[in-house]
Amino acid sequence: MLLFKTVSSLQSYLLGQKKKGKSLGFVPTMGALHDGHVSLLSKSIDENEITICSIFVNPTQFNDAEDLKKYPRTIEKDTEILVGAGVQVLFLPNVNEIYPENWQTPDFDFQGLDSLMEGEHRPGHFDGVAQVVHRLLDIVQPHQLYMGQKDYQQWRIIQSMLNQLDWNINLVRCPIARAEDGLALSSRNQRLTPEARQIAPKIYEVLQLAKAEIQSLSIQAVKQNAVQRLNSVPEFQLDYFEITDGQTLQVADNKETASSLVACTAVFLANIRLIDNIILKE
Ligand code: AMP
């Protein structure tokens, strides 16, 4: 695996590969890699001649300084995982490479996609995400970009960003990788105590029940049941549970008229914030 730490060295390598007609797949991450990341990388490796993984803990998308400080950094283990997965290129920049003084991010209009859920509960988060993904894409200029459904709202916002930029990059949404007990894999899971880790899969149980109930109940009733179930777990502190239109991400009120429906939730468990979602109607 080739390792690049500077924009210029990565770009000159990629330019050479593009001239040879190689297809480039890109998987941006913040490291602390797990099988969820590996599922994206494997898909990219299957579909492209060169897969580039970036590891960059982006300070501008953290609205909580403590969360940024505590974000796990496990670069040695990450490197082993990337080599084992067969990734060809690791891009490991520092903050100055990503945000040089003269760098400007365009103004994007996400038409409310960024106002609810994560946007409401983590002010400024999606501005930071759009900023870093825009910058990374400008550097790498891949043919395909791989992102996880785990961060459904993020995926939808990046899709909107690509449409606004009119960049010819194919965005691939990859399914949520879960532990055997259903917990969505996340870098934050390693911060859970063994007791909390036992309780955490209840989030997915509630999402699955919502998926079963949407067949026969109204959106409002499904939401009410889910909220009640999450609130009945004493260790959970519910941040939000919403059933949204999968396109607009606005709260859905009619399951017949919505083109797609997604249930999204964020729950604090022992001070760790976990997010998960399930597609109720595609
Ligand atoms: P992160 O390192 O958390 O910024 O995530 C990097 C990419 O991996 C994002 O596109 C995430 O949506 C994706 N991802 C994280 N966890 C999972 C998972 N459990 N299943 C699928 N994709 C995931």
Pairing of strands 170-174, 2-4: unpaired
Choose, from 34, 37, 125, 134, the residue flagged as catalytic. Answer: 37
Please give the distance, rounded to the nearest whole angstrom, from the Cα atom of residue 20 to the centre of ligand 1.
30
Radius of gyration of the chain (CA): 19
What is the rounded distance in angstroms from the CA atom of residue 59 to the CA atom of residue 68?
A: 7
Residues with CB under 6 A from ligand 1: 29-30, 36-37, 39-40, 147-148, 150-151, 174, 176-177, 184-187
Query: pLDDT by residue for the chain (282 residues), tens digit each?
Result: 999 999 999 999 999 999 999 999 999 999 999 999 999 999 999 999 999 999 999 999 998 899 899 899 999 999 999 999 999 999 999 999 999 998 999 999 999 999 999 999 999 999 999 999 999 999 999 999 999 999 999 999 999 999 999 999 999 999 999 999 999 999 999 999 999 999 999 999 999 999 999 999 999 999 999 999 999 999 999 999 999 999 999 999 999 999 899 999 999 999 999 999 999 998
What is the rounded distance in angstroms from the CA atom of residue 36 to the CA atom of residue 2?
A: 22
Are the beta carbons of 224 and 204 closer than 8 angstroms?
no
37 belongs to the catalytic site: yes
Are the beta carbons of 39 and 174 closer than 8 angstroms?
yes
Please give the distance, rounded to the nearest whole angstrom, from the Cα atom of residue 227 to the centre of ligand 1.
25
- State which of 75, 150, 187 you would mutate to test the pocket of ligand 1, scoring each by most atoms of that ligand within 8 A of its C-beta: 150
Please give the distance, rounded to the nearest whole angstrom, from the Cα atom of residue 242 to the centre of ligand 1.
20
Which ligand 1 atom is the nearest neighbour of the CA of 186?
A: 16
Supply the pLDDT for residue 67.
Answer: 87
Which ligand 1 atom is the nearest neighbour of the CA of 31?
A: 2
pLDDT tens digits, one per residue of 201-254? 999 999 999 999 999 999 999 999 999 999 999 999 999 999 999 999 999 999
For ligand 1, atom 14, which residue shows the shortest CA distance? 148
What is the rounded distance in angstroms from the CA atom of residue 53 to the CA atom of residue 42?
A: 11
Supply the pLDDT for residue 124.
Answer: 92
Please give the distance, rounded to the nearest whole angstrom, from the Cα atom of residue 148 to the centre of ligand 1.
5
- State which of 151, 162, 204, 262 you would mutate to test the pocket of ligand 1, scoring each by most atoms of that ligand within 8 A of its C-beta: 151
- In sequence order, what are the beta bridge partners of 9? none
Please give the distance, rounded to the nearest whole angstrom, from the Cα atom of residue 36 to the centre of ligand 1.
6
In three-state secondary structure terms, 15 is helix
Taking each helix axis from N to C end, the angle separating 75-85 and 35-47, rounded to the nearest 10 degrees, works out to: 40
What is the rounded distance in angstroms from the CA atom of residue 254 to the CA atom of residue 204?
A: 23
For ligand 1, atom 18, which residue shows the shortest CA distance? 36
Are the beta carbons of 196 and 235 closer than 8 angstroms?
yes
> Using H for helix, E for strand and C for coil, what is the string for 52-107?
EEEECCCHHHCCCHHHHHHCCCCHHHHHHHHHHHCCCEEECCCHHHHCCCCCCCCC
pTM: 0.97
Supply the pLDDT for residue 63.
Answer: 87
Please give the distance, rounded to the nearest whole angstrom, from the Cα atom of residue 39 to the centre of ligand 1.
9
Which ligand 1 atom is the nearest neighbour of the CA of 178?
A: 19
